[in-house]
Amino acid sequence: MELPKGLAGVVVDQTKVSSTKNAILTYAGYPIKELKNAPFEEVVFLLWHTRLPNADELKDFRKLLVSQMALPYETVQLMARIAREPQHPMSILRTTVSLLGTTNDVERDDPPRILAKMLTAIAAIIRIRNDKPIKHARKNWGVVENFIYLFSGKRPTAEQVSMFNTVMVLHADHEFNASTFTARVVASTKSDYYSCLTAAVCALKGPLHGGANEQVFKMLETIRETGQDPVQYVERRIASGQKIMGFGHRVYKDGDPRAAILREIARKIAHETGNDPYFVLQERIRDYMFKKTHLHPNVDYYTALIYHCFNLDRQTFTTMFAACRTAGWLAHIIEQQAEGCPIRPSSEYVGQTNRHYLADKEENSID
């Protein structure tokens, strides 16, 4: 039996949520390039129902999500303690999601309620870590506008909402990636939504998945702070066998379509926030990496700079990824639980055989 590394290309199930077939990302059949400016709430509805909402449905759905963007009192009290611990924000989020499962009426597997609570919890983690008071959602604002307000404490401009909306849409789902597949495995056992989401957060935390955006900006900071030439820095890392985060993708060999969209947002917001030097660094590294390795930037590469321009600490970047991807996780959880069949693959055993306990015990005994 020969299996591709990391199960690359192995089809394990069917889905109506999203696809990367032929290296084209689609949500329920719609190309991501056509959805990039669609309201986040509309895209969430699409992922959950595999159809677009009409005007009244979208209005009601947005109102429902915003109405649920408040955390239970018990959750806030406990978060105020754990969020100040010297742990990575993703570790805090992992515990918070599990905590929500005990304080947020776990008998109600209600996707809108859960997504809204996740967004608010992530914003609250950021506020508490910065010793800032937790903000409360404004009922007349949209989900993205509220989310930015909840983590920043300031009402964003219409342009900022538009840019961040696109970021959230592009990150909302991506077929059977590691965290989504993890959520589906747990969902297949008919476990509750919070258990599924906790497992997904654990998978997303890894630097080879969601944590890559943090590593991208760490690289940019190191280059700027030490005054190194970016090309020489990358050359040394490659020569020493180290991975350059933010480049290459298992599916998109000719370039991640999300990165192309995010590049223009990164360029614009970097200029508007006085972060042009970071974008210049990224472009020099981008050009060199293509010349040297023929690898293109992926979704993490430009997202890192965008998050920085929203005054987010790089350790919180992956929690932003989780905020966006929760929409897709929930879509896959809903779909998987409807199948009613636990995921239980087989494996090929390659260890020793024909061993016998008593014989080996006797042989290894000491006189």
167 and 255 both lie in a single domain: no
Which residues does 100 contact at the CB level (< 8 Å), separation at least 6?
Answer: 71, 72, 75, 114, 117, 118, 121, 194
Number of domains in the chain: 2
322 and 294 both lie in a single domain: no
The parent domain of residue 142 ranges over 18-206+314-339
What is the spatial distance between Cα 230 and Cα 236, in angstroms, rounded to a whole number?
A: 10
Number of C-beta neighbours around residue 74 at 10 A: 13
In a domain, 125, yes or no: yes
Q: What is the mean pLDDT of residues 326-334?
A: 98
Q: What is the pLDDT of residue 104?
A: 67
In a domain, 349, yes or no: no
**Strand positions, DSSP E, the chain:** 18-19, 26-27, 30-31
Q: Catalytic one among 173, 300, 308, 332?
A: 300
Mean pLDDT check: name the lowest of 48-52, 305-309, 337-341. Answer: 337-341
Q: What is the pLDDT of residue 345?
A: 86
What is the spatial distance between Cα 148 and Cα 129, in angstroms, rounded to a whole number?
A: 16
Phi and psi torsions of 142, nearest 5°: -80, 175
Instruction: For CA atoms 182, 184, 190, 195, give the dihedral sign.
Output: positive
Residue 222 pLDDT grade (very low, low, confident, very high; cuts 50, 70, 90): very high
Domain harbouring 91, CATH code: 1.10.580.10
172 and 298 both lie in a single domain: no
Q: What is the pLDDT of residue 349?
A: 85
Q: What is the mean pLDDT of residues 172-190?
A: 95
What is the spatial distance between Cα 80 and Cα 146, in angstroms, rounded to a whole number?
A: 21
231 and 292 both lie in a single domain: yes
In a domain, 362, yes or no: no
In a domain, 359, yes or no: no
Q: What is the pLDDT of residue 108?
A: 63
Q: What is the pLDDT of residue 211?
A: 85
CA Rg value for the chain: 22
Mean pLDDT check: name the lowest of 15-19, 297-301, 362-366. Answer: 362-366
**Domain's final residue, options 256, 288, 309:** 309
In angstroms, the Cα distances linking 143 to 43, 66, 94, 318 are 12, 6, 22, 19
**Domain's final residue, options 268, 294, 309:** 309
Q: Catalytic one among 171, 174, 249, 308?
A: 249
3-class DSSP state of 26: strand
| pLDDT tens sequence across 129-144 | 999 999 999 999 999 9
Q: Give the tokens for residue 238.
A: 């490659």
Q: What is the pLDDT of residue 361?
A: 87
Give the pairing of strands 18-19 and 30-31. unpaired
Helices (H), 175-256: 178-187, 193-204, 212-226, 230-239
Angle at 23 between CA 21 and CA 24, to 5 degrees: 75
- Candidates 28, 13, 117, 130; CA nearest to 73 is 117
Give residue 294's region: left, alpha or beta (phi > 0; psi -120 to 50). left
pLDDT at 109 exceeding the cut of 80: no
| pLDDT tens sequence across 254-292 | 889 999 999 999 999 999 999 999 999 999 999 999 999
186 and 239 both lie in a single domain: no
165 and 90 both lie in a single domain: yes
Query: In which order are the strands placed within the sheet that holds 30-31?
Result: 18-19, 26-27, 30-31
Residue 85 pLDDT grade (very low, low, confident, very high; cuts 50, 70, 90): confident
69 and 147 both lie in a single domain: yes
| pLDDT tens sequence across 230-244 | 999 999 999 999 999
pLDDT at 210 exceeding the cut of 80: yes
115 and 196 both lie in a single domain: yes
Q: Give the tokens for residue 159.
A: 């342009």
For residue 171, indicate whether it is catalytic: no
Residue 19 pLDDT grade (very low, low, confident, very high; cuts 50, 70, 90): very high
Angle at 204 between CA 265 and CA 224, to 5 degrees: 50
137 and 265 both lie in a single domain: no
Q: What is the pLDDT of residue 105?
A: 63
In a domain, 227, yes or no: yes
For residue 249, indicate whether it is catalytic: yes
107 and 231 both lie in a single domain: no
What is the spatial distance between Cα 172 and Cα 168, in angstroms, rounded to a whole number?
A: 6
- pTM to 2 decimals? 0.92
- Amino acid at residue number 213: N
Q: Which residue matches tokens 């109102």?
A: 63
In a domain, 353, yes or no: no
pLDDT at 173 exceeding the cut of 90: yes
Residue 346 pLDDT grade (very low, low, confident, very high; cuts 50, 70, 90): confident
How many CA atoms lie within 13 Å of 260's alpha carbon, on the beta-carbon side?
10
